[in-house]
Structure 1
Amino acid sequence: MSAPKAPASTAFQQDQFLQVLSRDDAEAAFLAALQPRPLGAEEIALDDLPGRVLAGDIAAPVDAPPFDRAVVDGFALRAADLFEASEVEPVRLRLNPEVIHCGTAPSLSVAPGTATPIATGGPIPRGADAVVMIEHTDPEDDAIAVGRAVSPGSFIAFAGSDIARGQTLLRQGTVIGAREVAMLAAVGLARASVWRKPRVAVISTGDELVPPGQPLRPAGIYDSNGPVIAAALRETGCEAVHLGAIPDDEAKLTAAIADAYAEHDAVILSGGTSKGAGDLTTRVIAGLGAPGIVAHGVALKPGKPLCLAVCAGKPVVVLPGFPTSAMFTFHEMVAPALRMMAGLPPRSTARVSASLPLRLSSELGRTEFAMVALTEGAEGPVAHPVSKGSGAVTAFAQADGFVTVPALADGLPAGTKAEVTLFGPSVAAPRLAVIGSHCVGLDAVVGRLVGQGMMTRILATGSQGGLAALTRRECDIAPIHLLDPASDRYNAPFLADGMRLIPGWRRMQGLVFRPGDPRLEGRSLPEALAALRADPEAIMVNRNQGSGTRVLVDRLLAGTRPVGYWNQPNSHNAVAAAVVQGRADWGMAIRPVAEALGLGFLPVADEHYDFAVWQDPRDAAALAAFEAALSDAVDDLQALGFDPR
């Protein structure tokens, strides 16, 4: 008799984290089990050395320079002959019948009262103890007249004065760059012993993953984790071997992980099952070797699902599937150990203090890393949160660094002076900070500024968020499209004293829907709204609060709350995608987005998209350049479907 089937609900049961560790406890357990150290040395050629780490000290086998040489073009002579030389009574020296160039050995000694012509880098001849610059001499047939005295050793680089034979040239642990290559070449070394790079296998897991470059199938997403983890590994001194994406099949995962483990020094996986039947990857790695999994679940945000294992001395890590979580946990928890295995010193981090314009909420009990972009405010740097969720990949490109919210805090109040850990060694404030409503037309204008070398930052917060940032002097330009119900005018009624409006363009907002929908196709706006209200199955998709489109939607709905009202994505593209994919039946977006996705479009408002600025800008020249770029972009804007004003 066959065993009874499990209830259907267990098909979505997931293994829970047995014990969620703090960040510090998880790191300590991982390092204690791994005890990371360099993996061994290898000798490589000079041309391949940049970026590698020396495995031992290097002593100079020869002097540099290897002989006394001239450092100027002039004449080698005896300093004593010029002891009484002056411009009034110059000393005449007879020229020896040879000229010393680089690479030629002198054949004649410099006797008292004589001098030998010598080029920069030429070996100093016997008898000479100084060089006089050619500019300080006058020719006289087969002699020169010198009108100034020189000291012994003048303009001579003595053998070993730069590098002495036996001197420790470079120390173990030095990261080789162009300067170090020059030092090695100067003493004739063509090879050096460096720590071997850890070979790290990278595997993405999930049925939904599609390799970049391949057609995107329904419900599929491109595998961004694999390439970005491989790139981060190379920045960490490792040799990354990207093995592609493996579906959520236990047999295939077991084989792929076992092969990767056998052939590499470490294995990094990202993601897990998409079926909700438990994390297959953790079950597979648990049997690779002792001590096995040392942490599964870490009190981090983003990054709680992180799994850290050490199997017979090799690190095996399962990073969270979402890109932001994967990168934060890699850099925070995994990269330090890999740097030790590569022989690299701990990574130095640059930090700046910046104020938070708004409260930064956090979940109590988990250390949170909040990505921020920096602008220059009236009282110094301002840190604007840019996180779009753990699944976002663009936030890293927009952010300058991150703010750490401690596990015992539920957030940081507005105005807090927070320490920002920078992603790079430094940060340069943008010439122009643009905060507010986003539009693809804005990208066309700003692209012209970037082409001129003007650094410009765009942060999409919605029209009202942009005006608030402009009021606080945290940005230079606030793109807005706000309709004032009282005056039926766009944008100007919302300006504070001291602000002005730069006219932008007009763009048509309307209801978007799938072609052929009888509730909207061929109807007037009042008829379409009546049909939607009458159909309880009609699902809308709204826009985020603070956006100009949301103001327009709320005015159109006149207080009603249709099904889907609280679904609030923050872009026109997201609204259109929801309709295309059937998750919603209608929403509000601009015409170019609707046309690009083949949606039906019912016009609602010919809105004005303008730019609020201060009359006394922080950088008048940069703002003038923006206005010029706006004027020059007329053709580009028209091609995108906008009506420049």
Structure 2
Amino acid sequence: MNRERESLNSIRDAAAQKQFLSVVSRDEATRRFRDALSLTTPEVERVPLAAALGRVVAHHIKATLDIPGFDRSNVDGFAVRSVDTSGAMEESPRQLRLNAESILPGIVPQLTVAPGTATPIATGGMIPRGADAVLMIEHSELIEEDDSLTLEVTRSVQPSAFITFAGSDIALGETVLWKGQVLSSREIGVLAALGLAEVDVYRRPQVAIISTGDEIVAPGRPLSLGSVFDSNAAILSAAVTELGCEPVVLGAVHDNEHALKEVIDDALKCDFVLLSGGTSKGAGDISYQTVREWTDPGIVAHGVALKPGKPICLAVTNNTPVVILPGFPTSAIFTFHEFVAPVLRLMAGLPETPKHKTQARVPMRINSDKGRTEYSLVRLFGENDDLRAYPLGKGSGAVTTFSHADGFIAIPTHQEIIEENELVEVTLLDARLKAPDLVVVGSHCVGLDYLLSLLREQGFSVTTMHVGSQGGVSAVRRNECDLAGIHLFDEQSGTYNQPFVPESSELIPGYARTQCFVCRPDDSRFTNLDADSAI
């Protein structure tokens, strides 16, 4: 008799919608929820790189060494002085004497390349002293005479030809990863290239996930008439994982207030508690009744002016957020992303608002070798309806290119040239492509790095590309960036930067910085000289 009376009273309350404290606007519900929480910086833990995938970087990470750490060859060939190859042609080759060593990767050269000599070198080998270029093996011929070998050079090379210089990929002191950045395989590769075995990341918040209702059946079990499979737990678990958190799935709980209270008490050991079902006006929904006794502050909003999603219930107890989502999957996911996801991102150390194929135009001509499909990594600039695909040209040995790329274009075997402004198809590396808030192209500067880090910490997305001052000026002229870092000296006027600024742009004065020249300690040309005399 008592149970029948309680059920009748529940039906009457539900019919009158007494469960809803009041229906408030989305902004008001968000304000109440946030005001009731005291979110702090997440705890930091150190994990090995093998366990770092998907984790959130806790500190800015700067390079502690140059990558590569030495000048190296990009091809198999011969280390030479470019001046010794000047004028070389097949009709009139130049002859060089071979040095008595061969440089393989991992070998430190012992001999200097003197005038008129050359040293065999493999791809990845360290450039010996005296050499300023590498001659491809295809552009030479070995002549054997009187038990000695002479190298015939059939094509001249320019200084720095086929050489990757120390620090050209990553420079000592360069910021390679930013606080709040999510580690993918690309970023982990950068850390490994820097010799790091571990990385400081934010601890993953634990999120308890509970489904409620007599009609809920776990996937894989027999489904009776009137029951539904519990899809919310799987959806929410995946969504929580995508946000850098750790889901703790506690299963489905039937409409039993005592049983649900026990499960919620256990769930409160986690950092966040998510329930789905039990928020609407139905007589069997008991999640609301279970949490309405809390007063610290307890329920802050129950009923929000949304469609779908009106029945959501937001609560806080002991500074632990507890959210009861509607039972229907569409409503549950909508309200999850509206109210839960921003808070979870903050708890995980991510910006509150997160920032498959697409089309874009290339801002410059791209050459390709005919006869093979070539993939060119690109960074995308511009708006979604007017994207520009900027090729990343650090070369095959670079470890940072992938971490800077948004996607790639495939150049077919029969195509040698992609013309400037040609429309191409870009395969995205991340399906969640979003135009950055700020695009910076030009010269790299640690001072600018610091300024941009302040914007990143406020949740702004910033895309940077280091292409030198002139490259930045060109990008401004093509309207491909918002900001370009430059430091250019005009010899005619004796002034910096202003003569190079395009008419459609504005020069913002920056700051002074100290530039240095580095020489070997035993270089007699600079002994006992001060900076002015050395220059």
| TM score, norm. by length of structure 1 | 0.51
Any idea what SS the aligned residue of 1:331 has? helix
- Structure 1 pair 299/346, CA: closer, same or farther in 2 (3 Å)? same
2:274 to 246, 260, 268: 268
Give yes or no for the alignment of 1:75 onto 2:78. yes
Provide the residue aligned with 2:232 in structure 1: 225
CA distance in 1, matches of 2:2, 2:177: 70
Structure 1 residue 253 displacement after superposition:
0.9
Structure 1 residue 84 displacement after superposition:
4.5
1:333 to 331, 339, 343: 339
Give the residue type in structure 1 aligned to 2:203: R
Give yes or no for the alignment of 1:149 onto 2:156. yes
Structure with more contact order per residue of length (Cα contacts < 8 Å, sep ≥ 6): 2
- Structure 1 pair 275/290, CA: closer, same or farther in 2 (3 Å)? closer
Give yes or no for the alignment of 1:10 onto 2:17. no
Give yes or no for the alignment of 1:190 onto 2:202. no
Question: Is the contact between residue 304 and residue 312 of structure 2 (CA under 8 Å) also seen in structure 1?
Answer: yes
2:68 to 58, 65, 68: 65
Structure 1 residue 16 displacement after superposition:
2.8
CA distance in 2, matches of 1:7, 1:207: 18
Residues 56-80 of structure 1: per-residue CA shift (max 9 Å, x gap): 0111122110111111111011223
CA distance in 2, matches of 1:68, 1:62: 14
Structure 1 residue 7 displacement after superposition:
8.5
Structure 1 residue 50 displacement after superposition:
2.6
Give yes or no for the alignment of 1:282 onto 2:288. yes
CA distance in 2, matches of 1:58, 1:200: 28
Give the residue type in structure 2 aligned to 1:314: T
- Structure 1 pair 275/29, CA: closer, same or farther in 2 (3 Å)? closer
Provide the residue aligned with 1:240 in structure 2: 247
Provide the residue aligned with 1:308 in structure 2: 314
Structure of greater Rg: 1
Question: Is the contact between residue 19 and residue 288 of structure 2 (CA under 8 Å) also seen in structure 1?
Answer: no
What is the CA RMSD across the aligned residues, in angstroms?
A: 2.9
Question: Is the contact between residue 276 and residue 325 of structure 2 (CA under 8 Å) also seen in structure 1?
Answer: yes
1:258 to 255, 261, 265: 265
Question: Is the contact between residue 52 and residue 194 of structure 1 (CA under 8 Å) also seen in structure 2?
Answer: yes
Give the residue type in structure 2 aligned to 1:55: A
Give yes or no for the alignment of 1:209 onto 2:208. no
Give the residue type in structure 2 aligned to 1:300: L
- Structure 1 pair 289/129, CA: closer, same or farther in 2 (3 Å)? farther
- Structure 1 pair 96/246, CA: closer, same or farther in 2 (3 Å)? same
Provide the residue aligned with 1:296 in structure 2: 302
Counting only pairs closer than 5 Å after superposition, residues 393-408 of structure 1 correspond to structure 2 as: none
Question: Is the contact between residue 37 and residue 316 of structure 2 (CA under 8 Å) also seen in structure 1?
Answer: yes
1:134 to 132, 137, 147: 137
List runs of 5+ in structure 1 lacking aligned partners. Answer: 353-423, 428-645
Question: Is the contact between residue 210 and residue 250 of structure 2 (CA under 8 Å) also seen in structure 1?
Answer: yes
Counting only pairs closer than 5 Å after superposition, residues 554-569 of structure 1 correspond to structure 2 as: none
Residues 211-242 of structure 1: per-residue CA shift (max 9 Å, x gap): 11112234322212111111111122211111
Provide the residue aligned with 1:320 in structure 2: 326
Question: Is the contact between residue 279 and residue 312 of structure 2 (CA under 8 Å) also seen in structure 1?
Answer: no
Question: Is the contact between residue 130 and residue 153 of structure 1 (CA under 8 Å) also seen in structure 2?
Answer: yes
- Structure 1 pair 56/248, CA: closer, same or farther in 2 (3 Å)? same
Structure 1 residue 298 displacement after superposition:
0.5
Question: Is the contact between residue 205 and residue 273 of structure 1 (CA under 8 Å) also seen in structure 2?
Answer: no
Any idea what SS the aligned residue of 1:283 has? helix
Give the residue type in structure 2 aligned to 1:205: T
Structure 1 residue 283 displacement after superposition:
3.2
- Structure 1 pair 273/161, CA: closer, same or farther in 2 (3 Å)? closer
Give yes or no for the alignment of 1:99 onto 2:102. yes
- Taking only the aligned residue pairs, the percentage that are identical comes to 53
Structure 1 residue 275 displacement after superposition:
10
Question: Is the contact between residue 279 and residue 325 of structure 2 (CA under 8 Å) also seen in structure 1?
Answer: no
Any idea what SS the aligned residue of 1:243 has? strand
Provide the residue aligned with 2:182 in structure 1: 175
- Structure 1 pair 344/147, CA: closer, same or farther in 2 (3 Å)? same
List runs of 5+ in structure 2 lacking aligned partners. Answer: 359-430, 435-535
Residues 573-629 of structure 1: per-residue CA shift (max 9 Å, x gap): xxxxxxxxxxxxxxxxxxxxxxxxxxxxxxxxxxxxxxxxxxxxxxxxxxxxxxxxx
Give the residue type in structure 1 aligned to 2:273: V
Question: Is the contact between residue 207 and residue 248 of structure 1 (CA under 8 Å) also seen in structure 2?
Answer: yes
Question: Is the contact between residue 36 and residue 338 of structure 1 (CA under 8 Å) also seen in structure 2?
Answer: no
Give the residue type in structure 1 aligned to 2:242: E
Structure 1 residue 160 displacement after superposition:
1.5
CA distance in 1, matches of 2:175, 2:151: 43
Question: Is the contact between residue 289 and residue 312 of structure 1 (CA under 8 Å) also seen in structure 2?
Answer: no
Any idea what SS the aligned residue of 2:268 has? helix
Question: Is the contact between residue 279 and residue 326 of structure 2 (CA under 8 Å) also seen in structure 1?
Answer: no
- Structure 1 pair 88/259, CA: closer, same or farther in 2 (3 Å)? same
- Structure 1 pair 11/288, CA: closer, same or farther in 2 (3 Å)? closer
Give yes or no for the alignment of 1:49 onto 2:52. yes
CA distance in 1, matches of 2:78, 2:122: 8
1:28 to 12, 28, 31: 31
CA distance in 2, matches of 1:114, 1:243: 74
Structure 1 residue 32 displacement after superposition:
2.4
Structure 1 residue 85 displacement after superposition:
3.3
- Structure 1 pair 5/225, CA: closer, same or farther in 2 (3 Å)? closer
Runs of 4+ in structure 1 displaced over 6 angstroms? 2-5
Residues 221-272 of structure 1: per-residue CA shift (max 9 Å, x gap): 221211111111112221111110111111111110011102x110000111
Residues 288-317 of structure 1: per-residue CA shift (max 9 Å, x gap): 562221111001111111001122222110
Residues 458-507 of structure 1: per-residue CA shift (max 9 Å, x gap): xxxxxxxxxxxxxxxxxxxxxxxxxxxxxxxxxxxxxxxxxxxxxxxxxx
Any idea what SS the aligned residue of 1:248 has? coil
Any idea what SS the aligned residue of 1:301 has? coil
Counting only pairs closer than 5 Å after superposition, residues 540-579 of structure 1 correspond to structure 2 as: none
CA distance in 2, matches of 1:214, 1:154: 67
Give the residue type in structure 2 aligned to 1:269: L
